[in-house]
Every structure is written in C-alpha cells, then in structure tokens.
Structure 1
C-alpha cells in the first residue's frame, strides 16, 4: 500500500502542486514566526546580559509599598556614600534617568523610536564611565555639554563639536556634543535615543537634585552577589528602597523579553493558523477530487482483496508524503521569512540588537508536525469516504450522486450549528463580559455556514443568472458548472469566505471605533489646542509650559492637567487637578448635577460611574490624604457624565498643587481668540521654542492621530490576513484546474459543436468569478454580523460608539473577490482552451 501511495503521488504531481503550495505557505508563516521571534528574543537577552556585566547589586526605590501615597522617594547622595564605603564594594555608581527628546538638523524629532531617554555620565577613578565606552570625544562635564549614543549620532549626522537642540520636559536647550559612545542598551537597539549629561545637570533636569533613580554596585573580587546584597540591605531605609542582585535583574529582564516576544509570537501564529485553516479546505477538496477520479482503481483494489482500512491508509500515506515535502519546503521558506522580517523592520527604522539567526530543533519539529498533521487531517474524510464505497457500485459509478438522506442530514447539522452560533453570538452581546461566549459562537456559526454552503450556493449563484445571460451560452454553462458539484463549490468558496469574514469584521470594528473616539475627542473639547509631550503624552510637561502659554497674547483660557495619588476614605484614588475658573471654556461635559464653577470654590466634581461605584453624591464629604501625607476634606459639588478621555475626581489646582512633591502637567488645554488656524498653531509652537519634545494639536490633529493609529493597525492586519487570501486563491486555481481535467470530454464536445477557444476561456473565467463572488458575499455578510456583535460589547463601555458600515471598502472587498476569481482562472482557462478536441473526446 505504501508503494501504491507513492506511485499515486508521483503520478499526480501537477494536481497536488497547489495543495503543496497551500501547506507550504502556512508552514512558512509558522516557521518564519518562530525563527523571527526566537532570533529577536535571544538578541535582546544577550544584549541585556551584557548590560548587567558590571552590576552585582542594584538599589531601586521601593514601588511596591502599599502604605505609601504617591511615588517612591529617590535615592540620596548619603546612601550612595555609605554603600560605597561598604567592605566588598569595588565601585558604586549613582544613576539618574528621565525623558529626553532630540532634534535633528531640520528641527524634527530625532529617532522617535522605542524610547527617548536621558541619563548621567558617571566617571569612575579613571575618568571614564564603564557603562558607556566612548567612540569619539569625551564625556560631558558641564551644564551645556552632552554625549550621544553612536546610532543616534549617525542617524542625525552629528559629530563631536556640533550643537544639538533638545528638551527634557519644557524649555529647549542647545547643548554641545562632546562625546559619542556605544551602548548595549536594548532600547537604543530598538530605535530609541540615549543622551548623557554630567550628573549634576541630569539631576537638575530630571527634578532629582542631589538624588538618584538607581544605584548600581560592583562587587570586589571574592565577594558574592548574595553576600553583598545582605550587607547593602542593612543600610536601606525600609519601605523606601529595595536591593536586587544583578543575576535577578538579568533573569527578570530576560523573562520580560520572553513574555513580550511571546505576545508577538501568539499574534503571528494566530494568523498562520487562519492560513492553515483555509488550506484545509483546499487539501480536502483536492483529495476528494483525486479519490473521485480514481474510484474504479480503488474499487479494483477492493475487489482483489484490499480492506477498507488499507484503502484509507493509502490515501493518508499520500497525504503524509505531500505534507512532508510541503513541510520541509515551508520550513526552509520560513527561515528566509524570519530573516526577511528582521531586515524589513530594520529598513523601516525599527532595529534590534545584532545576533545570529536562531533555528531551533523545536521550530523544525513544529513545522513538520503542523504540515503533516494538517494534510492528514484534511485528507482523512475523503479517504474514509472512498473506503466505504462498495466495489461493484464504484465500478458502475452509482456512488457519484449524493443521496437525499445524506443531504438532509448535512443540512440539518448545518442549520443546528448555525442556529447555535447565532444564539451564542447574540447572547454574548447582552453579557457584561461576553467575549468568550461570542468567540465560541462565531466559530460555531462559521462551521454551520460552511456545512450549509452547498445548500446556499444554488439560490445565491442563481441570483447572478441575469448578469451571466449577457455572456450568452458561456455564461449559462458557467452558472450550471458552478452548481453542478455544490460541495466542491462550497469548499472553494469557503476558503475565500473565511478571509473576507475576518477582514470585513475588523474593518467594521476599526471604522466604528475610530469614529466614536474621534466624536468623543471633538465633542468633549471646546479648547482649540491640546499641548502635550510628543511621546503620546506618556511623560509629563514642565509647569513652565502652562505658565508660558497662559501669558501669550490671544490666549483667552488655559488649564494644565495634573494627576496625583491620594487616599480617600481609606482607598487609593487618583486626583485630577485643573483650572476651575477656565474649564467651562475648555471642555464640553454634561452634568447630572452641579457644574465646573464649583471647582473654583475649592470643591470637587466626579464622573457618574465613579460616583455610583463609590456611593458618592452631591454633598458627600470625603476625607483625603495627599501625597505629602497631609490630610483634608473635599465636598462633592457636581456629578458629570465622563468618557474614556474625561473622567475621575477633579479638584482645582490651587487645592492640589501645594501637596505635590513634583509639580508636573500631563497636558495643557488652550483656547485662543482667533480659534484654530495654521498661523495660531505656528505662533504657539514658536512661543515654546519649536520644541522637539512638545506637540501642539488642534481637534483635527487629534482626529488624524486616531485615524492614523487605526489605519496602521488595519494595514498590519490586512497584511497578515493576506496570506489566508493567497491560500484561498490557490484553492480556486486548484479546483478549476482539476475541474477542467474532469470535464475534458465535455470541453472537447463543446469545441466539436462550435465553441471556439475564446468561448471556452470565457466559460471557465465566469465560473471562477461566480464562485469567488459567492464566497465574497458570504464573507462580507458574516463580517458585518460579527462586526455589529463585537460593537455591541464595545458600546457598553464607550458611550459614543456607533456602528459604521464602510460601504466603500466593502465594495472594494467584493471587487477584490471578483478579481481573485478572474486571476485564478487565467491558467485553467488557458489550459481548457488548448485541449485538442479529438483527444479530449477520446479521453
């Protein structure tokens, strides 16, 4: 039976080619993902290990102390001096770090990548900082000097002696570049920047005068990390600082890197799984047709003594051989994809630490197992069906027509699955956390629709009859051929349906989310501009920015936004500080009770959800413990309807600011007399020194940022789903090619009675077009349904959410489905037209 299976594979190489390609693409996606993520994970881990070579013990502020309110205090110079004096300490380095944005020579932000950081250059006894080997020049020594990492200097074309513009949190600084250094910092390798200042300047810029963010200790020869940590712990202020061995820090960072790449790997493997799932339809279709073409051969094998099990086994052996060949080719292609992904991301500015391509035994085993497993799984049902055919019936082809009973059973099962799936999806829309139920329902519904697709094919394809009649007899025959074998048509269309379902559903959700967040931003803002840091507002602004903006001519109202930790009635709660007298002119918020005017009287307002959760109402008195541990009371004077952008317990900055250890603003809202315009925006930017770290955005800019984010996400998802669509195209090509082979006699007869080659080509192309559009209609319909259902869950947490059906894009998707059909038919149509009519009739 093995020799028979091998002979059949070799005899049908051309017909199995598309199947092999489908498996190859899916496996290439899997192996490429594993190679890529293993490579970058190992590169980052090696880089992080280098970063801890001179760190045996590190001291950091204790951020896990639940008894403290607000951020942990920085580490003092006194602690650094005491640690340096410990026996067993070779050296102790005080580290200061914060955010620093650099400007290129054109005034734009330089290498705005993974991280834009600033730190201190801390020279040792030899006058050099071992962490940052200098490539050129020397380290910074005064307030107007900096050193740049080599990648940043090369990207900005800076050299020693140049002047560079930069900003930490507010005013623009012009600094002289005195040195260029190399670093193993993974953030720099990932496309970020690192700027070094002398220690006193770094402490001043990052609001840590005389203090440090971290202290790194190198042990003397013969002192273990554990022993040194025990000595260091005796000096630490309890609850304010903690120590860690270098080995633990290295292990923790390696774990974080592994977890980070694991998320990326999971996402990519999900899309690889979708491509393989689509490939299952093609494999099953191929083996079904191959088995049907060899019915008499299999019957003869049964007649001469082969058992059902042996017949099934021969088909599965064929599938195994196909899977092995496709798996090996896919694994090799995946290695190329893994290397290509790293190069592709590098060309876009996203860089990684240097390192070799990592190909593990696990990657090879998984690739081959997936290839063989998917192929054998898809071929099992056709093989089992072939083995059940009685030899005599097979010799007479009595089995060719499906029985009424089998069709009734199939349609009943499909209807039950579809009904259960719809019910689960609808139930998920009414639950607080119905994502799991909805996801399960979506899978069940897809299975149900797939089972019902043969039944659906006849009425849907019949609807295209008026259009096909325009093409005369080729159009009529194309429609009849498309529904002649409903199961084959269903399997071919279903492959395309899966891809378009996901693409359409994601488009509906993304479009609806974009509009709802855009509406939320623009409807809530009366302010003409929002000023924040350029790193998506993650870092705070200097209060000097708000002061500068408030004094500008033409600014009619402004308010800095400040956040602070507090403890209210014994529970941790964030306080939002604003300018109460200006807020009515800057925000549009509906109040349940009260107004923003109450803030100027030293009272508080809170969003409705928080009020209901805490049991607060207008008139409630709250006991507050601030960051500086001072206490007071706040009275709720208003309850407003919050959203994702505006919510929380708000107080006037005059109440909050005196209790802050460090005064920082997360954004500043600005209203101008002339309204939003290019001239006004330029005036504000110039007033802030055309700062590379600060962005000034009007409502349109906010909207564009949101749109850009969703567009980028959608394009990435389209690219990942493109693999599934390519596999679906191969399925259409495969089905048509084998269908042409089966209908050789019929095509020969058509040529004999007057069909020319052009008419044959048109018939095959129209058949392909009809099948592809059938899959497209089903996919778009299901995608809209799933997009609506997911939106119902989103709407429960975002009040401005509304369903948006992007008819234009869906029209493009349908046109693309048609284009898939036309392109997929090119080779089969050409092959059909070239058939010799006499040889075809005789076949």
Structure 2
C-alpha cells in the first residue's frame, strides 16, 4: 500500500501541483513570520543588551504609585545620591543621566528621526574627560547651553559637520545651537533610525528635569566586584522609598522580555493571517483528494477486491497526502526563509531601520513549518480517504458511484442551519454587551462554518439567478450553469475559499470606513477651534507656545490644554486644565446640566460618566489632592457628554498652576479671525519659528491624520489577506483543471456534435466566473454583516459612530471576484479546448 501511494503521487504530479502550491504558500507565510519576528527580536535584544555593557547597577526613582507622577510624587535623583553611589565599596564610577525628547531639524528644516525616537541626553565625562558610552568621532564634547553633540548616523544623514549651527526643539520653541562633536553609539533606537543629541549635564538637566536632578544613575563595578555585591552595597545608601537599584543584567533581561512580549502580538497577528491562508488551503486539498479518489474509484475497488481492508485504503490516501504535505512544507520553509530576509530588507529600505544581526532560523521554526504543512494536508485528505474506503467494491467496479442520499443532504442542511442560527444569535447578543468581543468572535466562527455547510444548498438558487445572463452566451452559457451546479459540494468548497477572503476584506473595509466617518463627525462636532497645536511626538509643549499664539493679531481666542494627575478620594483622576475664559469659544460640548460659562477658580465641569459614578450634579463639591500633594475643594458647575477628545474633569489652568512643579501644555486650541486658511496656518508656523517639531493641524488635518493611520493599517491587512485570495485562485484553477479531466469524454462528445474550441473555452470560463461570483456574493454579504456587528460593539464607546457601506469598494471586490474567475479559467479552458476529440470519447 505504501508503494502504491508513492506511485500515485508520482503518477499525478500535475494534478497535485496546485495543492502543493496552496500548502506551500501557507507554510511560507508561517515560516516567514517566524523567521522575521525571531530575527527582529534577536537584533533588538542584542542592541538593548549593548546599552548595558557599561552598566553594572542602575539606580532609578521608585516605581511605586507614589513616585510615578501622581499627587505627592517624589523628586528625581539628586547630586548627593550620585556622589554617595560613586563612593560605595566596589564601585569604580557612577554616571548621572537625564534624557527627554529632542527634535532635530535637517538643513531643509525637516524633522530627523522617527518622532518618539528623537531623543536628547547628557554627556557625562569621567575622570579622563570622556564619556565611555559615547566615543567622540569628531570634535569635542558639548559645553554650555549653546552647544550639542550628535550621533554619527544623524550627522551624516543630515550633512552636519562640526561647527555647523543646528536647529533643535525640546518643548516647543526653536533653539539654535552649535555642533561641537560627533559621536558613535550602540543605542538601539539610533540603529533603528532614531536620533540622539547630547548636551552637557547642566544644560540637559534644565531641558529635561531640574537643576541638580537625574532620571537615572549608572554605577560601574570595580574589577573583582560582582553586580549582586555592588547592588547590595548601593542599597545601603538609597533613600527609603525614594529610589531602587537594579543590576544591569536584570534590566537587560527585563528589556529582552519586554521586547519578546511586544513581538508576540505582531507574531500572533501575522500567524493569524497565515492560518487564514492555510484554512482556505484546506478546501483546495480536500477538493483535490476528493476528485483524485473519485477518478481512481475502480482502482481502489480492485484493491479492496484482492484483499485490501478499508483501513489500508484510507492509509494509502493519507500516505499520498503525507508526501504532498512534506514536499509543500519543505518548499514553503525555504520560501519563508527568503520572505523573512526580504521583510527585513524591505523595512530597512522604507526607513524603519532594524539593528544589524544574523538571520535567525530556529529549530522551532523548522519543526512548526514542517508540522503545519504535513498535518494540514493529512487532515484535509482524511475525509476523502475515508469516503473512498466505504464504497462497496462491486458497486465501484461497476461505476455505480455512491450518490448523495436525501437523508445525508437533510442532515447536512440541518447541521448547517443550526450552526448558522447559533452564530447569528451569538453575534446579535454580542452587539448589546459591554465587552462582547469573545462572544462575537465565537458567533462569527459559527456563522462562517454554518454558511460553509449550507453552501451546496445555497449554490443552486443563487447560481440560477445568473441563468438569464448566461443564456445570452448560447449553449456555452447553459452548459456552464449546469456544470456549476452539477456537483454542489465541489462548487461549495471552491467558492468557500474565495468567500472567506472576501468576508474578511469587506468586514475590515466597512469598519475602517465607518470609523473614519465617526472621527470626522467628532472633529467637526466637538471643536470650534480652527487649529490644534501640539508636538509632533505628542510630548509636552512649552507654555511659551501658548503665550506666543495668544499674542498674535490673527488669533481671537486660544486655550492651552494641560493634564495634571490628582486624587479624588482614593481614586487616581487626571484633571484637564484649560483657559476658562476662552474654552467656550473653542469647544462645542453638550451639557445636560450647567455650562462652561464662568469656569474658573474652584469651579469644574465633569463628564456624565464621572458624575454618575461619583453621584455628582451641579453644585456638588468634592475634595481633591493636587499633583504637589496639597488638598483643595472643587465645585461642579456643569455636566457634559464626554467624547474621544474631551472627558473627565475640566478646570481652569489657574487652579492647577500653583500645584504643578513643572508647567507644560499638551495641546493648544486656537481660533483665528479668518478661519482655517493656508495664509493663517503659515502665519502661525512663522510665529513659532517654522518649528519641525510642532504640528499645526486644522480639523481636516486631524481627521486626515487619523484616516492615514486607518488607511495604512487597512492596506497592510489587504496585503496580508491577499495571500488567502491567491490561495483561493489556485483552488479555482485546481477544481476546473480536475473537472475538465473528469469530463474529458463529455467534452469530446460536445466537440464531435459541433461545439468548437472557442465554445469549449467560453463554457469553462463562464463556469469559473459563476463559481467565483457566487463566492464573492457570499463573502461580501457576510463581510457587511460582520462589519455592522463590530460597529455596534464599537458604538458603545464612540458616540459619533455611524455605519458606512463602501459601495464603490464592494463593487470593486465583486469585480475582483470576477477577475479571479476569468484568470483562474485561462489554463483549464485552454487545456479543455485542446483535448483530442477521438481520444476523449474513448476515455473512461
């Protein structure tokens, strides 16, 4: 039986090619994902560990709630602690570090680096006058507020040389400083395309912390002192509850774990799409083996007649599947390794730099890829093999094929109806739940399974709708319709592969379009301001920006928005500070009680959710603990409906300023006399020094920025789902090719009675088109339903959500299904038309 299985694989190489390709693509996606994420994770881990090469013990502010920016937060690390750390037994040196966002403009005024990875820090010279962390390649170390040093990668990219003037921004205003040095670094963020600017320690403290304070102290061990011994010595000099010490190895391990955890989500997402491609491939595999077994019915019956058992027949089919799966898995693994290497090169080419490192192909990747390919193929072939073994030998040798009984159809349709009904019910229930994601996912899975089971039943009436159109193509059209419904199960399996891909694509498109519409409504309804000014990196903004804007003749009203941590009773609560006098001219909030009028002093307005939780209404007073730990009382002067832009407790900035250690804003809302025009925007940008770090956005810019995020994500998902569509195309090609082989005698008869080659080609193409459009209609219908259901789930937290049906894109998807049908039929149609008439008629 083993030799027979091997012979059958070698005898039907062409028939199995599409199955091999389908499995290979799915396995390639899996292995490529694992190789890429392993390579990226390994490179980031090595880069992170290099950052701790010169560190044995790190002292940081305590990570408890008390010191995390909440009320009563403790100060950062001071010079006294730095000096003590340097003198502990076993310490060779101690370095105080401070860092923060630093935007660097190139010579054209554009921002260098990737937003959050544009950082600044301090150059901390040791006894030799050098900082071991940052070896200088050119020039000298920075000294004084008007000097800085740049990492070599950034300097070379921007064309800066020692002595050049560099425009930078830390918190809003533009500063011009002199470049005194260029250094090299192993910093992973820099290797990934970011930028790093260094100032002398005093200047960095003024920019990022406060004079005499550090965000971290790095202690180097003397020769012969272990990290654990040094940590024990450092612990003795730490202030109680103010700071904590960690070994460099522990921090490196924590960072490696954090990187691995962050990579898990990416790996899971990519593997999910690989799973979709493999799931679609299951239909192709099952279809292929069903047809192969049907074509060898007499052969298998003869084997049964000469003594082969049912189990042996099933095993022979599974052995074939094993060989096919093994070949596909090995090929997929090889292609996947190439994909992994290509993805790294592509990311580097698009500017998303990845630290250097070897291509990682772990044993797990090899085992998983081979296992997935073989297991999926064998499982998909099990049912056709089992069916083949159950056909009585006499009936099979007499060509009396086991037709589908009425009972089996009733059972199938009943099971399908139960699954589909349960799925619809679960989805509908989930739309009314506060957190119905899991229920909706379960319902979606049940519904897709139910529709797949019911697809043979649905195929006849839906394909019958195309009869009037097909009749226009004469006998070819009529035969195409009859062929499409001749074997409903095969048609269903072929169409279902395409259905799954289009279901996901349509659902994602509906959700993305509806979210964009809701964001547009939110930006329009919640804001009266013409512009929102913020840092491009969303880091804190200097109060000087709001002061500059408020003094411009074009500006009629402005308000900085600042967020300050506080405590209401035992609950942490962020307070939003605004300009109470102008905020009513800049926002459009719906109030159920009170208003923004008179917001100032100890007055506050709260959103309905907070008011309901606390039992507040207009006139209620409540105690508050401010950021500096001092206590006060606020009075509710209004209750409004919260949205994505405004929620929580809003107070006048004057009430927050006395309690803020460092004054900064998050955004500035601006209303101008002439509204949002290009000339006004240019005037604002000019007043702020054409700062590359500051974003000046009108309502359309805010909406377009979010739309760009959705579009980028959607295009990425389209690219990933394209794999499933490609596999579905292979399924249509495979089904038609096998179907043409099965109908060789019939096609020969048609040619003999006068149907020319062109008519044969047209018949096969129309059959493919009908099957593809059938799958497309089901997929788009399910996608719209899932898109609506997901939107109902989202609408609970997004009041402006509105369902948008992208009719244009759905028409495009249906056209895509038609194109798939036409392209998939090219080779089978050509093959059918070239069959020898006499040889075909004599074929069994």
TM-score interval, normalised by the smaller of the two chains? over 0.9
1:395 paired residue among 394, 397, 411 = 397
2:98–2:209 CA contact under 8 A, matched in 1? no
Tell whether 2:648 aligns with 1:676.
Answer: no
Match of 2:12 in 1: 12
SS of 2:805's equivalent in the other structure is coil
Rounded Cα–Cα distance in structure 2 between residues aligned with 1:336 and 1:713: 24
1:607–1:642: 8 Å Cα contact kept in structure 2? Answer: yes
Partner of 1:628: 628
Query: Could you report, residue by residue, the CA deviation over 1:255-294 in whole angstroms, capped at 9, with x for unpaired residues?
Result: 0011111111111000000000000000000000000000
Partner of 1:811: 811
1:491 deviates by 0.3
Write the deviation string for residues 2-60 of structure 1: whole angstroms up to 9, x where unpaired: 10000000000000000000000000000011111111111111111111111111111
Q: Which residue is equivalent to 2:308?
A: 306
- The answer to whether 1:421 aligns with 2:423 is yes
In the alignment, what sits opposite 1:385? 387
- Which residue of structure 2 lines up, in the alignment, with residue 408 of structure 1? 410
Residues 685-717 of structure 1 deviation map (CA, whole Å, 9 limit, x = unaligned):
000000111010001101110110110010010
Pairs within 5 Å for 1:781-796: 781-796=781-796
- Asked whether the 8 Å contact 2:73–2:628 carries over to 1, the reply is no
User: How far 1:448 moved relative to its partner?
Assistant: 0.6
Cα contact 2:600–2:655 (8 A) shared by 1:
no
Q: What residue is the counterpart of 2:764 in the other structure?
A: 764
Mapped pair 1:706 → 2:713: no
- Asked if the contact 2:601/2:654 (under 8 Å) is kept, the reply is no
RMSD after superposition? 1.2
Shift in CA distance, 601/124, structure 1 to aligned 2, threshold 3 Å:
closer
Indicate if the aligned counterparts of 1:70 and 1:564 stay in contact, CA closer than 8 A.
no
Aligned to 2:649: 649
CA contact (8 A) 1:32 1:335 kept: yes
**Any gaps of 5 or more consecutive residues in structure 2?**
none
Do 1:113 and 1:191's aligned partners in 2 also have CA atoms closer than 8 Å? no
What's the CA shift for 1:113? 5.0
Q: How does 1:162-561 map to 2 (within 5 A)?
A: 162-535=164-537, 537=538, 539-561=539-561
Quote the offset at 1:70 in angstroms. 5.6
Task: Tell me if the contact between 2:550 and 2:557 (Cα under 8 Å) persists in the aligned partners.
Answer: yes
Q: Following the alignment from structure 1 to structure 2, what is the Cα–Cα distance between the partners of residues 65 and 756?
A: 82
CA contact (8 A) 1:161 1:177 kept: yes
Q: Secondary structure at the match of 1:196?
A: strand
Deviation per CA, 1:140-163: give whole Å up to 9, x if none: 123222211222222222222322
Distance in 1 between the 2:441 and 2:640 partners?
A: 35
**In the alignment, which residue of structure 2 is the partner of 1:591?**
591
User: Aligned to 1:720, what secondary structure does the other structure show?
Assistant: helix
Aligned residues of 1:730 and 1:824 also touching (Cα < 8 A): yes
Paired with 1:831 and 1:113, the residues of 2 have a C-alpha distance of 56
Pairwise CA distance, 1:483: 0.6
Q: Report the secondary structure of 2:112's partner residue.
A: coil
Paired position in structure 2 for 1:730: 730
Give CA-to-partner distance per residue, 1:112-163, whole Å, 9 cap, x none: 2551111111111222211112232222123222211222222222222322
Specify the SS of the correspondent of 1:399.
coil
Other structure's SS at 1:423 match:
helix
> How far apart in 2 are the matches of 1:180 and 1:282?
59
Stretch deviating more after TM superposition (365-374 or 198-207)? 198-207
Contact 1:70 1:565 in 2 (8 A): no
Spell out structure 1 runs of 4+ moving beyond 3 A: 65-68
Q: CA deviation at 1:626?
A: 1.0
Give the conservation status (yes or no) of the 8 Å contact 1:772–1:817. Answer: yes
Aligned-partner Cα distance in 1 for 2:242–2:93: 22
Displacement of 1:186: 1.5
- Aligned-partner Cα distance in 2 for 1:338–1:740: 38
Report the counterpart of residue 65 of structure 1 in structure 2: 65
What is the DSSP-based 3-state SS (H/G/I as helix, E as strand, rest coil) of the residue aligned with 2:391? coil
Q: CA–CA distance in 2 between the matches of 1:456 and 1:258?
A: 46
Q: Which range moved further: 321-330 or 430-439?
A: 430-439
- Residue matched to 2:119: 117
Distance 2:439 2:93 in 1: 58
- Residue 569 of structure 1 is matched in structure 2 by 569
Gaps of 5+ in 1: none
Given that residues 601 and 655 in structure 2 are in contact (C-alpha distance below 8 angstroms), is that contact kept between their aligned partners in structure 1?
A: no
Aligned residue in 2 for 1:619: 619
What is the distance in 1 between the residues matched to 2:435 and 2:448?
Answer: 22
Deviations 1:198-235 (A, max 9, x none): 11111112242221111101011122212221221222
1:558, distance to aligned residue in structure 2 (A): 0.4
What is the CA-CA distance between 1:362 and the residue it aligns to? 0.9
Output the TM-score relative to the length of structure 2.
Answer: 0.98
Offset at residue 72 of structure 1 (A): 4.3
2:103–2:118 Cα contact (<8 Å) kept: yes
| SS of residue in 1 equivalent to 2:741 | helix
